[in-house]
Amino acid sequence: MARRAQTSTAVLGALAIGPLTGYEIRQAITTVLGHFWHESFGQIYPCLAELEADGLIAATPGERAGSRRFEITDAGRGRLRDLLLEPAPPQAPRNGVLLRVFFGRELPDGAMTDLLDDVATEARTRLATYAGIRAGIAADPEYATHGRFWEATIRAGELSAQATIAWVAEVAPSLTT
Amino acid sequence: MARRAQTSTAVLGALAIGPLTGYEIRQAITTVLGHFWHESFGQIYPCLAELEADGLIAATPGERAGSRRFEITDAGRGRLRDLLLEPAPPQAPRNGVLLRVFFGRELPDGAMTDLLDDVATEARTRLATYAGIRAGIAADPEYATHGRFWEATIRAGELSAQATIAWVAEVAPSLTT
DNA sequence: GGGCACATGTAAGCTGTTACATGATTAA
DNA sequence: TTAATCATGTAACAGCTTACATGTGCCC
């Protein structure tokens, strides 16, 4: 029931937008959702089997032999709604960069500069990626109904990346001797 | 070796600032480090035992019967340095709020408003907490040597919280019908 | 003498990751 | 015909959480 609740939410949510095969769910999660949500592939198929057994999704034969395309059922849509209404479980923070900055005095000269440079570069790359995703989703036929939610999600990523870049610019002078 | 690398980093890092008992490490991790780093208490004592066996930390009897205060050894300081120089392992993102926003079309009326309100409130609470932590660390005798690193860490939290508040203000109008 | 903060530790169980195994279809 | 992509699945393992077990010292 509640054990794989978050994985179920992601899978049911994806299927609420349109029917997909397990492989396609996996792809959707790595490309679009991948920037704020992660699923281990080893969990998707067991999760699909469980959801199907519970009547929350239904399979139709896919184009290829052996492949199955899943659709969300009315019961599944109700369950998704319930799952989305539950408060988001707090993610235990494990920020490796901040851990290194916090103990930064133990870092040899130059290492802090490298670390901060990498962080800023990564944030800039993320910004570019978001721009690409934005262009991609705008072409999606579901954009009319889901677009504003997708845009808001990407916007969170952009503001976060910009905050990171601003942070590096602000603290670098005092941390790099 | 590499299995508990991140926990070792946090523990060695804490002991590099000053000698602590297991209990005090636990406290330090929940209060100051807690906002960007999490350790399960069940891991601290096994980790301490391992580090002691490897000669990276050394125990002296604490004030109370049975308690032990740990100090970092020279070997431990070298190991900490190596650990800090390793790139921070990427944390798989699992942002429950963004997952809910992304699938926001499935949310009933009003739920999105509540969700965003909660997010903004939580971010404001975090800002207030950071102000408290700032006041606390400024009084620490180690502030002179470590202060700028601690300040930079807190600053990252502040900028992140501010970005969250700005995000809610920006996207709320388009998401709450 | 009761409650709280200090202090240390373990063990069961759950979750999630990794690596592997298998095979169909399509493009070069 | 070979490589890449599509497609499904499992099983072993690593890591983490939770709950429990135990005891000291201080203050009211």
Please report, rounded to a whole number, the percentage of residues in chain B having pLDDT higher than 70: 98
pLDDT in the model for residue B32: 87
Overall residue count recorded for chain B in this entry: 177
Same structural domain, B118 and B155: yes
Interchain proximity B94–A38, CB inside 8 Å: yes
Band of residue B62 on the pLDDT scale cut at 50, 70, 90: confident
Residues B23 and B68 in one domain: yes
Check B152 against A88: CB less than 8 A apart: no
Q: Is the pLDDT of residue B144 over 60?
A: yes
Task: Judge whether residue B38 contacts strand D, using its CB and a 7 Å cut-off.
Answer: yes
* B59, B85, B111 - which closes a domain: B85
pLDDT value at residue B120 = 98
Cβ contact B91:A94 at 8 Å: yes
**For residue A120, is it within any domain?**
yes
Output the distance from A68 CA to C19 C1' rounded to whole Å.
24
Name which residue leads in pLDDT, A2 or B51: B51
* One domain for residues B81 and B7: yes
CA gap B151, A171 in Å, rounded: 9
Per-residue confidence (pLDDT) for residue B52, from 0 to 100: 95
Same domain, A119 and A73: no
* Contact, A81 CB vs strand D, < 7 Å: no
Whether A133 and chain B come into contact, CB under 8 Å, resolves to no
- Same domain, yes or no, for B46 and B18? yes
Query: Min CA distance, A144 vs chain B (Å)?
Result: 11
**Tokens found for residue A149:** 């939610």
Across chain B, mean pLDDT equals 93
| Boundary of a domain, candidates B25, B59, B85 | B85
**For residue B34, which residues of chain A lie inside 8 Å, CB to CB?**
93
**Rounded distance, CA B143 to CA B8, Å?**
23
CB atoms within 10 A of CB B128: 9
State the pLDDT at residue B1: 40
Q: Give Cβ neighbours of residue A39 (< 8 Å, ≥ 6 apart).
A: A7, A10, A11, A26, A29
For the segment B32-46, the average pLDDT, to the nearest whole number, is 90
Type and span of the H or E element at A171? helix A143-175
We report the CATH number of the domain holding residue B52 as: 1.10.10.10
Q: Determine the structural domain holding residue B145 and report its residue range.
A: 96-175
Q: Is position B90 within any domain?
A: no
pLDDT by residue (tens digit) across B103-133?
999 999 899 999 999 999 999 999 999 999 9
Specify the pLDDT at position B2. Answer: 41
Q: What is the DSSP pairing of strand B57-61 with strand B68-72?
A: antiparallel
Instruction: Please determine, for residue B92, whether its predicted confidence score (pLDDT) is greater than 90.
Output: no
DSSP alpha helices (H): ranges in chain B? 5-17, 22-31, 41-53, 74-85, 96-102, 111-138, 143-175
**Which burial class, exposed, middle or buried, applies to A74 when counting CB atoms under 10 A from its CB (0-12, 13-18, 19+)?**
exposed
Is position B91 within any domain? no
The rounded Cα A95 to chain-centroid distance in angstroms is 17
Answer yes or no: do A136 and A72 share one domain.
no
CB contact under 8 A, A13 and B103: yes
Q: How many domains does chain B have?
A: 2
At a CB cut-off of 8 Å and minimum separation 6, what does B139 contact? none
Per-residue pLDDT of B63-83, as tens digits, reads 888 899 999 999 999 999 999
Q: Are residues B68 and B101 in the same domain?
A: no
Could you say which nucleotides of strand C lie within 7 A of any protein CB atom? 6-12, 14-19, 24-25
Low pLDDT (below 50) residues in chain A: 1-2
* Statement: the CB of B6 is under 7 Å from strand D: yes
Question: Is the model's pLDDT at B3 over the cut of 70?
Answer: no
Residue A106 lies in a domain: yes
Footprint on protein of nucleic strand C, Cβ below 7 A? A 2-4, 6-7, 38-43, 64-66; B 21-24, 26-27, 41-42, 45-46, 48-49, 62-64, 66-69, 92
- State residue B104's pLDDT score: 97
Amino acid sitting at position B95: N
Q: How confident is the model at residue B90 (pLDDT cuts 50, 70, 90)?
A: confident
A157 and A112 within one domain? yes
Q: Which among B102, B10, B32 has a CA at the least distance from the CA of A88?
A: B102
Structural domain includes residue A114: yes
